[in-house]
Amino acid sequence: MGNGKTKSVIKRVYVPTQVRDLPNGEKLKIPGHYKAPPDDGNNSLD
Let me know: does 30 contact 46? Beta carbons within 8 Å.
no
- Whole-angstrom Cα distance, residue 18 to residue 30? 5
Amino acid of residue 7? K
- The mean pLDDT value of the chain amounts to 79
Instruction: Determine the pLDDT at residue 7.
Output: 80
Would the pLDDT of 41 be above 90?
no
Average pLDDT of the residues in 8-23:
90
Cα 26 from chain centroid (whole Å): 24
Would the pLDDT of 16 be above 90?
yes
Instruction: Determine the pLDDT at residue 43.
Output: 47
DSSP conformation class of 29:
E
Beta strand 27-30 with 33-35 is unpaired
